[in-house]
Amino acid sequence: MDDQERTAEGKTPLSISVIMPVYNGTEFIQQSLPPLVAMRERGEVLEVIVVDDSSSDDTPDVARRLGAEVMPSGGRLGPGAARNVAAGESKGDILWFIDADVIVHDDAAKVLLKGFAEPGVVGVFGSYDDKPPAQNFLSQYKNLVHHYYHQRARREASTFWSGCGAVRKAPFLRQGGFDVEMFNRPSIEDIELGYRLLEKEGKLLLLTDLQCTHLKEWRFVNLIHTEVFCRAIPWARLMLSRGGLDNDLNVGVRERVKAVLAALLVLTALLALGGVLSWVYPVLAVVLVVYANQDISRLFYRRKGFWFALKGLLFHQLYYLYSASAFAWALIESKLGKKLA
């Protein structure tokens, strides 16, 4: 009888091992570790493990002072491999992966366990909340977009997220953990793990009430690099290798339609500027874009006001353009049978 069956019968409560990979994260862990250590003191989690990925600052000492168990990764391995190292040494039935720049809400462990109480569930994950502390436009925009998609996605998920996500230890180890050969730098190793877990182990749940605060401050260059080269292109390659696109989160059918509308807006505007089309067409495209994006625009407006909502709507069209371009790039690669970059 495995841990899932025992829990369903109420005989053996699940224990949770928190695993947080960190590289030079002193500023972050001073905020993200205390709530987790408090959960351990309350008996909600069994252990809090910080995997130090060969930091050059005093991250290990700070983590120990805050009450975490510190484990060296054994080299500069990256977060996926660091998580794998701790997973093999952890004591809990559940591996709860949390990024160093994430502060979980106080009820997170309880919410997480409720998800695992459902039959057939092998993993759960949550979302960022809608109150990021970084106040610059891109940080607010990126965080709110993540919150928007995760709060509206299907509860029975089609993938996994390791920013604040948990899996049963036994299936995780059976599947070999995160694939750090395919993804030798931080990328979509969590998404790929989710596909394997779904195919061979059980269900994944997206729990909208499992929330956390994201501390990262985004700037234009690192946002575009991360979005395009670390997320969009690798995810498109992975989906194409599996036979097609998912219909969930930010790659669902509705999102593809919005991407087409964003491209249509740019195309009609350029043709109108060149005198090829009447300005009626780009105006019509604007109306369609505003209508299609009204839900996320309302979120922007509620949280940050009119001017932020306007800028957010405009930047979101750029997001659709570079995301669609990344998919087109991956599609061309698949037709040519080789990677172009």
Q: Are residues 166 and 30 in the same domain?
A: yes
Q: Are residues 192 and 305 in the same domain?
A: no
Q: Are residues 144 and 285 in the same domain?
A: no
What would the pLDDT profile of 196-207 be if each residue is shown by its tens digit? 999 999 999 999
Q: DSSP code of 205?
A: E
Residues near 305 by Cβ (< 8 Å), separated by ≥ 6? none
Q: Are residues 146 and 268 in the same domain?
A: no
Q: Are residues 159 and 270 in the same domain?
A: no
Q: Are residues 203 and 129 in the same domain?
A: yes
- What is the pLDDT, as a whole number, of residue 12? 63
Residue identified by tokens 């002193």 is 26
Pair of tokens at residue 1: 């009888």
CB-based contact 17:85 (threshold 8 Å): no
Q: Are residues 59 and 137 in the same domain?
A: yes
What would the pLDDT profile of 123-180 be if each residue is shown by its tens digit? 999 999 999 999 999 999 999 999 999 999 999 999 999 999 999 999 999 999 999 9
Q: Consecutive 10-residue runs of the chain (341 residues): their mean pLDDT?
A: 43 87 96 98 97 95 97 92 96 97 97 96 97 96 96 93 97 96 88 96 97 96 92 89 77 90 96 94 96 96 96 96 91 80 63
Strand partners, 96: 18, 166
Q: Are residues 202 and 290 in the same domain?
A: no
Which residue from 123, 135, 130, 153 is spatially nearest to 250, judged by alpha carbons? 153
In the three-class reduction of DSSP (H, G, I as helix; E, B as strand; rest coil), residue 327 is classed as helix
Q: Are residues 64 and 170 in the same domain?
A: yes
- Please, what is the Cα angle at 326 between 324 and 327, to 5 degrees? 65
What CATH number corresponds to the domain at position 31?
3.90.550.10
pTM here is 0.91
In the three-class reduction of DSSP (H, G, I as helix; E, B as strand; rest coil), residue 101 is classed as coil
CB-based contact 279:272 (threshold 8 Å): yes
- Please, what is the Cα angle at 102 between 96 and 105, to 5 degrees? 75
Q: Is 313 exposed, middle or buried (0-12, 13-18, 19+ CB in 10 A)?
A: middle
Q: Are residues 55 and 163 in the same domain?
A: yes
Pair of tokens at residue 238: 């992975």
Question: Which residue range is the domain that position 41 belongs to?
Answer: 3-218
Phi/psi for 249 (5° steps) reads 50, -135
Is position 33 within any domain? Answer: yes
Which residue from 295, 248, 258, 314 is spatially nearest to 148, judged by alpha carbons? 295
Is position 232 within any domain? Answer: no
Q: Are residues 184 and 328 in the same domain?
A: no
